[in-house]
């Protein structure tokens, strides 16, 4: 069989998600994976056009990975429909002779906690008065919150203290409310880790602003609720140098089970 990989990400008129997906696709190709890309929304190629191209190239087995942090309407409805699947579950399908391994979004891999931990440890020393805030978009569906909480639980199992979730939208607590809580229990240093697939307005502007820092600032002493606190914001998870290694492990695990 001729095997391929399809990374599917959100399209946008901003370059951030596009650049993160392209970068990871290029790394996979350098590692020997026959990698294709597709976008939802404003960019080309579409899922259907990439599937058509793979078929024309002789690919008859493909691992399809949503380049996203968590499941949602797109992974359960839009992507399966565009792939021609007869179900919305993450499993193996045979569509017109092509075997499709449809897997969970990369952000739901249990191994992503290793990258999160790396980010936590990369910005400053950690002591008993350090709070760790895992920040995600939030969603009207439960999956974004579940993804964040799984990683909170895993970091806690690894011995980290004062690890909590915060959300940009839809869910509670907000970043500000989480910071208020942390300061209320004696935290004087916050490490904020954006569980976000790419750099962009949230990482560069919104998160710093919510934590009392100027836009495009990753660390500093801010005044929140009338008190000083040291804030450290890591980069987005999806632009980490080891993210392509995580994708490789997902691909290899999917193909080995077939």
| 161 pLDDT more than 60 | yes
Tell me: do 97 and 125 sit in the same domain: no
Cis before 45 (ω within 30): yes
Question: CATH number for the domain including 212?
Answer: 3.40.50.1400
Mean pLDDT of the chain, nearest integer: 95
Q: Residue 255's pLDDT is what? A: 82
Tell me: do 31 and 92 sit in the same domain: yes
Tell me: do 231 and 201 sit in the same domain: yes
Q: Which domain holds residue 10?
A: 3-67+71-104
What confidence tens digit (pLDDT) does each residue in 71-127 have? 999 999 999 999 999 999 999 999 999 999 999 999 999 999 999 999 999 999 999
Q: Residue 15's pLDDT is what? A: 84
Q: Residue 156's pLDDT is what? A: 98
Tell me: do 63 and 28 sit in the same domain: yes
Tell me: do 174 and 227 sit in the same domain: yes
What mean pLDDT do residues 127-145 have? 96
Band of pLDDT at residue 256, cut at 50, 70 and 90: low
What mean pLDDT do residues 209-217 have? 96
Query: Do 5 and 62 form a contact (C-beta atoms < 8 A)?
Result: yes
- Exposure b/e, 23-39, CB count within 10 A at least 16 = b: bbbebbeeeebbbbbbb
Q: Residue 257's pLDDT is what? A: 53
What confidence tens digit (pLDDT) does each residue in 95-110 have? 999 999 999 999 999 9
| 176 pLDDT more than 90 | yes
Tell me: do 181 and 77 sit in the same domain: no
Tell me: do 47 and 119 sit in the same domain: no
> In this structure, is residue 116 part of a structural domain?
yes
Q: Residue 12's pLDDT is what? A: 80
* Tally of domains within the chain: 2
Cis before 151 (ω within 30): no
Other C-beta atoms closer than 10 Å to the C-beta of 255 total 17
| 40 pLDDT more than 60 | yes
């Amino acid at each position: 069989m001729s095997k391929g990989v399809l990374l599917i990400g959100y399209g946008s008129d901003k370059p951030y998600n596009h650049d993160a997906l392209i970068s990871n696709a290029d790394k996979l190709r350098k590692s020997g994976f026959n990698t294709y890309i597709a976008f939802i929304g404003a960019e080309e190629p579409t899922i259907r056009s990439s599937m058509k191209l793979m078929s024309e190239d002789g690919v008859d087995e493909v691992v399809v990975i949503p380049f996203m942090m968590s499941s949602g309407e797109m992974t359960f409805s839009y992507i399966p429909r565009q792939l021609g699947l007869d179900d919305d579950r993450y499993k193996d399908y045979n569509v017109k002779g092509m075997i499709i391994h449809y897997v969970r979004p990369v952000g739901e891999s249990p191994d992503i906690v290793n990258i999160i931990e790396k980010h936590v440890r990369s910005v400053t020393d950690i002591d008993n008065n350090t709070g760790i805030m895992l920040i995600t978009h939030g969603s009207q569906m439960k999956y974004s919150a579940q993804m964040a909480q799984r990683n909170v639980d895993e970091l806690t199992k690894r011995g980290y203290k004062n690890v909590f979730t915060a959300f940009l939208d839809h869910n509670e607590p907000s970043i500000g409310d989480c910071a208020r809580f942390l300061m209320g229990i004696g935290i004087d240093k916050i490490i904020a880790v954006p569980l976000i697939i790419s750099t962009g307005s949230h990482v560069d502007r919104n998160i710093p602003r919510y934590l009392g820092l100027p836009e495009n600032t990753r660390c500093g002493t801010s005044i929140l609720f009338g008190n000083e606190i040291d804030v450290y914001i890591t980069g987005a998870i999806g632009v980490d140098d080891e993210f392509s290694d995580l994708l490789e492990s997902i691909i290899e695990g999917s193909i080995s089970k077939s």
